[in-house]
């Protein structure tokens, strides 16, 4: 295969035709050369397409460690948390975040001490009472005051502060947390003063007005339903409940025929309708998709509208946005947009999208995907109001066992997320890569590959799912690693943004996959990532974003996001703990890893709040 790629790049026919033209060679020669090149291209495409099957897997031995070994690793994560939090307390508290290289501090999120609030439930899980008590004394004094003309970003404030207060309340029942959550939920409410009921980007909490553009990113306008639903439940306030029902109502009634039933990225806050055709599970979209399933699960699986939205979204992604890379057969998810009347994919794969395998695994764990009639749904009928090609896609999906299909998708994607770490000399994953596809390389959708795999007798693991070694293995060839061309050829991708931002999505998915499948390989992969964080990101006072993960000994950036303590270290800790301390049937993590309890609306609440 490499041969054919290189062969095309230096195609002698192409070079020769240019030389001939200079010597005044006739048009017939040129036409012949052109036809010859086209023929070669066609051969090349077909050759690649038909050598996709079978999809070989590497044999990788993952040792069975004793429970004591994993508990000791959980303890190491707890120590990492203490290192980071003590650095924050010493140099930054009560500001928002620590600058872990300069020992400075920064107010990124309203200056209410976001790292402390974001860390509360992690401390509770780790049993860090002294740290928790110190943070709580700040919460007692918290009054959400701000200088005049400050704009509070709605989405980040909800997921970090409101989510943090609510989950600590759920775990302790401490009234002060509910009071603070209620106050915060109330001062943010002017954001909902749009004619659609979708929140605007930010709020001036001093004046009580909303700010921001007339258009909103999907994730920012539709990732607050869990928080406001639970806030409504524990405060018994109808106005909090009404706010979350508005988003569900808008989304469920949006006109999505053109988009195959999936929500695009940009929305008009007046009309409540989508304004572009950019479909993505990455930045600016991610958590809105995540909340469809999570909202359904958190409200005890009564909210069928959200379940339908989840099934439509995942079906569109499985059919249209998942691809297999040409050489290593890495499974990945990308985006689509309309371009000159056709559909185009960027083949970018974002670290942010690595929440998706965990979400799919959570769906497999909680939903009767092969027996949706048990929850009052018919899978193929969900596509009745879509275009015929989308309807066909649903039928193709339904020709597989949907539980298996969703789990394979989860496993294949999670493996690719992990490999983007393991492939690098640092062992840390870049923020965005671009997969080799399109142009000279064939675009192979996962479902095309799956159909081929099925037709050819299901030999070996499904495409993209079998275990794979990192591309460099134990090799230590710097020249090789750093050479862009060679990397693209062998790895199937190039790195577009080489920073590791201490992000959680990959370890989040590893954790959920481990809990759902019990396969220790997910733990081993998480352990490799934790060790890389210790090696590359640790500073004397905390942990720092790492600049170029594809080099040896990269520089660090003076940034330690609060989500590193709220999410990344929490998921790693839960991954290594033997005991399942946050059972996935009883708790649902918000998009900042704050677990909220599953609850049911009573008959009286449903009547009072107009919940179906
Ligand atoms: C930051 O604080 C740590 C811990 O006290 C210390 O080791 C380190 O030298 C300090 N760094 C700077 C830049 O002052
Ligand atoms: C609110 O808290 C801040 C920080 O603790 C304090 O400076 C301010 O005086 C308080 N404002 C009110 C109105 O209590
Ligand atoms: C809500 O929006 C309307 C129309 O833009 C405006 O007149 C009103 O003052 C706003 N109210 C609040 C509380 O922001
Ligand atoms: C779903 O609906 C289709 C037709 O709309 C029907 O043929 C099929 O049997 C239904 N499936 C189930 C599981 O009820
Ligand atoms: C689908 O696969 C699951 C898990 O492999 C299995 O338990 C179930 O019986 C299968 N269902 C159907 C309808 O084949
Ligand atoms: C890789 O190269 C570095 C720098 O030359 C060296 O320190 C390290 O030991 C090598 N690792 C392996 C596995 O060969
Ligand atoms: C490293 O890789 C480059 C490019 O593939 C190759 O030319 C070189 O021989 C390799 N060096 C070693 C020590 O393997």
Tens digit of each residue's pLDDT (9 = 90 or more) over 502-537:
999 999 999 999 999 999 999 999 999 999 999 999
CA 56 to CA 583: how far, in whole Å?
Answer: 35
| Nearest-ligand number for the alpha carbon of 406 | 5
Determine which residue's CA is closest to atom 8 belonging to ligand 4: 378
pLDDT (0 to 100) of residue 473: 44
449-453's contacts with Cβ under 8 Å and 24+ in sequence apart are 449/52, 449/53, 449/55, 449/324, 449/329, 450/400, 450/405, 451/396, 452/52, 452/53, 453/53, 453/54, 453/55
Task: Give per-residue pLDDT as tens, 394-413.
Answer: 999 999 999 999 999 999 99
Lookup: tokens for 537: 């990101």
Backbone angles phi, psi at 352, to 5 degrees: -55, -30
Model pLDDT for residues 538-588, shown as the tens digit of each residue = 999 999 999 999 888 899 999 999 999 999 999 999 999 999 999 999 999
Tell me how far the alpha carbon of residue 203 lies from the centroid of ligand 3, in angstroms. Answer: 12
Say how far apart CA 4 and CA 202 lie, in whole Å. 53
Ligand 1 centre distance from Cα of residue 90 (Å):
11
* Residue 6, pLDDT above cutoff 50: no
Average pLDDT, the chain: 90
pLDDT greater than 60 at residue 80:
yes
Cβ(90) – ligand 1 distance below 6 Å: no
324 Cα: distance to centroid of ligand 7 (angstroms): 28
What tokens does 439 get?
Answer: 């142009």
Position 12 pLDDT exceeds 50: no
Which stretches of 382-455 are DSSP H helices?
Answer: 388-398, 402-422, 446-455
Nearest residue by C-alpha to atom 8 in ligand 1: 540
Active-site annotation holder among 118, 156, 431, 536: 156
Question: Which residue's CA lies nearest to atom 7 of ligand 6?
Answer: 476
517 CB near ligand 5 (under 6 Å) = no
What is the share, in percent, of the chain residues with pLDDT greater than 90? 81
pLDDT tens, 201-224? 999 999 999 988 999 999 999 999
Q: Residue 43: pLDDT above 90?
A: no
**For residue 25, pLDDT beyond 60:** no
Q: Which of 220, 227, 286, 423 is catalytic?
A: 286
Instruction: Give the closest residue to 122 by CA, choosing from 597, 598, 596, 595.
Output: 595
Distance CA 92, CA 472 (A): 40
Q: Are strands 209-211 and 202-204 parallel, antiparallel or unpaired?
A: antiparallel
How far is ligand 7, taken at its centre, from the CA of residue 340, in Å?
43
**Per-residue confidence band for 476, with pLDDT thresholds at 50, 70 and 90:** low
How does pLDDT run across 152-211, given as a tens digit for each residue?
999 999 999 999 999 999 999 999 999 999 999 999 999 999 999 999 999 999 999 998
Q: Is the pLDDT of residue 16 over 60?
A: no
Q: Is the CB of 538 under 6 A from ligand 1?
A: no
Both tokens assigned to 478: 């710097």
Spatial neighbors of 576 by CB under 8 A, at least 6 apart, are: 70, 71, 73, 74, 77, 523, 526, 527
Q: How many Å apart are CA 254 and CA 259, to the nearest integer? A: 11
Residue predicted with more confidence, 34 or 606:
606
Distance (angstroms) between ligand 4 centre and the Cα of 372 equals 11
First-residue to last-residue Cα distance in the chain:
56
Would the CB of 583 count as within 6 Å of ligand 3? no
Q: What is the β-pairing status of strands 266-268 and 215-217?
A: antiparallel
Q: Is 286 a catalytic residue?
A: yes
Which whole number is the average pLDDT over 239-253?
A: 90
Cα three-residue angle 387-390-396, rounded to 5 degrees = 145
Averaged pLDDT, 224-241: 97
Radius of gyration of the chain (CA): 25
Which whole number is the average pLDDT over 434-455? 88
Which atom of ligand 5 is least distant from the CA of 370? 13
- Residue list, ligand 4 pocket, CB within 6 Å: 373, 378, 380-381
pTM comes to 0.89
Decide: helix, strand or coil at residue 322.
strand
Ligand 6 neighbour 474 (Cβ under 6 A): yes
Considering only residues 14 and 55, tell me which one the structure prediction assigns the higher pLDDT: 55
344 strand-pairing partners: 337
> Where are the strands (E) in 307-435, listed by range?
322-324, 331-333, 337-339, 342-344, 348-350, 432-435
Q: What's the rounded mean pLDDT across residues 100-108?
A: 98
Confidence class for position 248, pLDDT limits 50, 70, 90: confident
Q: Best mutation site among 311, 380, 385, 401 for ligand 4, i.e. most ligand atoms within 8 A of its Cβ?
A: 380
E strand or H helix that includes residue 243: helix 238-253
Percent of the chain having pLDDT more than 70? Answer: 88
pLDDT of residue 67: 97
Q: Please give the C-alpha separations between residue 471 and each of 6, 464, 481, 571, in angstroms, as whole numbers.
A: 19, 15, 10, 26
Mean local confidence (pLDDT), 475-484: 56
C-alpha neighbours within 13 Å on the C-beta side of residue 515 = 29
pLDDT at 244: 85
Decide whether any atom of ligand 2 lies within 6 Å of the 143 Cβ. yes
Q: What pLDDT shows up at residue 11? A: 38
CA–CA separation, 342 and 396 (whole Å): 22
> Does 102 sit in the ligand 1 pocket, CB within 6 Å?
yes
- Taking the centre of ligand 1 as the mean of its atom positions, its distance from the CA of residue 571, in whole angstroms, is 28
Write out the two tokens for 599: 């609850």
Mean pLDDT, rounded, for 90-111: 98
Q: 438 - beta bridge partners? A: 441
Quick count: other Cβ atoms within 10 Å of Cβ 389? 10
pLDDT of residue 482: 56
Please say whether the beta carbons of 508 and 502 come within 8 A.
Answer: no
Work out the pLDDT band at 41, boundaries 50, 70, 90: low
Q: How far is the CA of 110 from the centre of ligand 2 (A)?
A: 13
Length of the chain: 612
**Confidence label for 23 from pLDDT (cuts 50, 70 and 90):** very low
Query: Residue-wise over 578-591: b if at least 16 C-beta within 10 A, else e?
Result: eeeebebeebbbbb
- 137 CB near ligand 2 (under 6 Å): no
The answer to whether residue 178 is catalytic is no
146 alpha carbon, closest ligand: 2
Q: By three-state DSSP, how is residue 367 classified? A: coil
Binding site membership of 325 for ligand 3 (Cβ less than 6 Å): no
d(CA 269, CA 222): 11
pLDDT at residue 491, as a whole number? 86
Question: Which of 476, 477, 552, 553 gets mutated to test ligand 6 (max ligand atoms within 8 A of its CB)?
Answer: 476
pLDDT at 479 over 70: no
* pLDDT band with cut points at 50, 70 and 90 for residue 4: very low
Residue 92 CA, ligand 2 centroid: distance in Å: 18
Catalogue all structural domains in the chain, each as residue range(s) with its CATH number: 49-609 (1.50.10.10)
Q: Whose CA is nearest to atom 9 of ligand 2?
A: 145
Q: What is the largest CA-CA distance in the chain?
A: 89
Q: Closest Cα to atom 8, ligand 6: which residue?
A: 476
Q: In the annotation, is 276 catalytic?
A: no
Q: Is 591 annotated as a binding residue?
A: yes
Which of 370, 372, 402, 454 best tests ligand 5's pocket when mutated (most atoms within 8 Å of CB)?
370
Identified catalytic residue from 97, 118, 131, 160: 160
Query: Helix (H, G, I), strand (E, B), or coil: what is residue 273?
Result: coil
Is 118's pLDDT higher than 60? yes
557: helix, coil or strand? coil
Take atom 4 of ligand 7 and give the residue whose Cα is closest: 480
Sequence-distant (6+) residues with CB within 8 A of 479 are none
According to DSSP, the β-strands at 322-324 and 331-333 are antiparallel
Average pLDDT of the residues in 226-253 = 94
pLDDT greater than 70 at residue 26: no
523 is catalytic: no
> Where does the pLDDT of residue 56 fall: very low under 50, low under 70, confident under 90, or very high at 90 and above?
confident
Q: Is 399 in the pocket of ligand 5 (CB under 6 A)?
A: no
- Specify the range with the lowest mean pLDDT, choosing from 281-290, 304-313, 337-346: 337-346
Pick from 54-68, 369-383, 443-457, 465-479: least confident:
465-479
Helix (H/G/I), strand (E/B), else coil: 266: strand
Distance 376 CA to ligand 4 centre (A): 12
Burial letters 361-387, b for 16+ CB under 10 A, else e = bbbbbbbebeebeeeebebeebbeebe
Ligand 3 pocket check for 319: Cβ under 6 Å: no
Q: What is the DSSP string of 455-519?
A: HTT--SSPTTTS----TTTT---HHHHH-HHHHHHHHSEEEEE--B----HHHHHHHHHHHHH--
Q: Is the distance from the beta carbon of residue 476 to the nearest atom of ligand 6 less than 6 Å?
A: yes
- What is the C-alpha to C-alpha distance for residues 117 and 127, in angstroms, rounded to an integer? 16
Nearest ligand atom owner, CA of 98: 1
């Amino acid at each position: 295969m490499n041969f054919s790629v290189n062969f095309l790049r230096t195609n002698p026919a192409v070079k020769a035709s240019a030389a001939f033209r200079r010597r005044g060679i006739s048009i017939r020669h040129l036409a012949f050369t052109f036809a010859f090149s086209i023929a070669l291209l066609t051969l090349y495409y077909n050759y690649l397409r038909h050598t996709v099957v079978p999809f070989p897997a590497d044999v990788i031995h993952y040792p069975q460690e004793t429970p004591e070994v994993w508990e000791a690793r959980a303890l190491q994560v707890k120590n990492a948390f203490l290192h980071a939090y003590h650095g924050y307390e010493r140099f930054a508290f009560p500001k928002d975040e620590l600058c872990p290289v300069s020992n400075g501090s920064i107010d990124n999120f309203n200056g209410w001490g976001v790292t402390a609030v974001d860390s509360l439930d992690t401390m509770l899980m780790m049993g860090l009472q002294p740290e928790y008590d110190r943070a709580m004394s700040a919460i007692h004094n918290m009054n959400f005051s701000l200088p005049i003309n400050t704009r509070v970003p709605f989405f980040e404030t909800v997921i970090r502060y409101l989510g943090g207060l609510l989950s600590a309340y759920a775990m302790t029942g401490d009234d002060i947390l509910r009071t603070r959550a209620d106050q915060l939920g109330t001062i943010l409410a002017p954001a909902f003063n749009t004619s659609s009921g979708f929140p605007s980007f930010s709020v001036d909490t001093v004046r009580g007005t909303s700010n921001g553009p007339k258009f909103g990113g999907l994730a920012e306008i539709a990732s607050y339903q869990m928080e406001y639903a639970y806030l409504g439940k524990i405060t018994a306030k109808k106005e909090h409940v009404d706010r979350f029902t508005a988003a569900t109502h808008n989304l469920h009634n949006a006109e999505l025929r053109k988009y195959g039933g999936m929500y695009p990225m940009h929305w008009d806050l007046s009309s409540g309708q989508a304004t572009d055709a950019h479909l993505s599970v990455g930045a600016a979209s991610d958590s809105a998709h995540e909340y469809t399933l999570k909202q359904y699960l958190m409200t005890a699986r009564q909210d069928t509208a959200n379940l339908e939205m989840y099934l439509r979204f995942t079906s569109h992604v499985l059919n249209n946005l998942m691809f297999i890379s040409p050489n290593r057969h890495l499974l990945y998810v990308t985006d689509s947009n309309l371009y000159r009347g056709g559909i185009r994919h960027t083949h970018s794969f974002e670290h942010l999208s690595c929440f998706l395998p965990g979400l799919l695994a959570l769906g497999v764990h909680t939903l009767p995907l092969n027996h949706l009639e048990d929850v009052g749904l018919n899978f193929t009928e969900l596509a009745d109001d879509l275009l015929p090609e989308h309807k066909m896609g649903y039928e193709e999906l339904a020709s597989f066992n949907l539980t298996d299909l969703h789990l394979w998708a989860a496993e294949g994607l999670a493996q690719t997320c992990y490999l983007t770490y393991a492939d690098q000399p640092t062992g840390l994953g870049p923020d965005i890569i671009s997969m080799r596809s399109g142009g000279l390389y064939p675009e192979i959708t996962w479902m095309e590959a799956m159909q081929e795999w099925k037709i050819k007798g299901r030999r070996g693991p499904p495409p993209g799912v079998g275990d794979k070694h990192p591309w460099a293995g134990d090799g230590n060839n710097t020249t090789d690693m750093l050479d862009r061309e060679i990397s693209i050829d062998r790895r199937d991708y190039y790195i577009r943004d080489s920073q590791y931002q201490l992000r959680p999505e990959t370890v989040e998915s590893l954790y959920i996959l481990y809990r759902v499948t019990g396969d220790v390989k997910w733990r081993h992969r998480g352990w490799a990532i934790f060790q890389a964080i210790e090696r590359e990101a640790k500073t004397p006072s905390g942990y720092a974003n790492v600049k170029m993960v594809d080099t040896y000994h990269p520089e660090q950036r003076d940034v330690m996001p609060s989500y590193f303590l709220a999410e990344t270290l929490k998921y790693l800790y839960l991954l290594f703990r033997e005991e399942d301390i946050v059972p996935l049937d009883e708790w649902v993590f918000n998009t900042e890893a704050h677990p909220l309890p599953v609850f049911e609306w009573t008959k009286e609440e449903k009547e009072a709040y107009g919940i179906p």
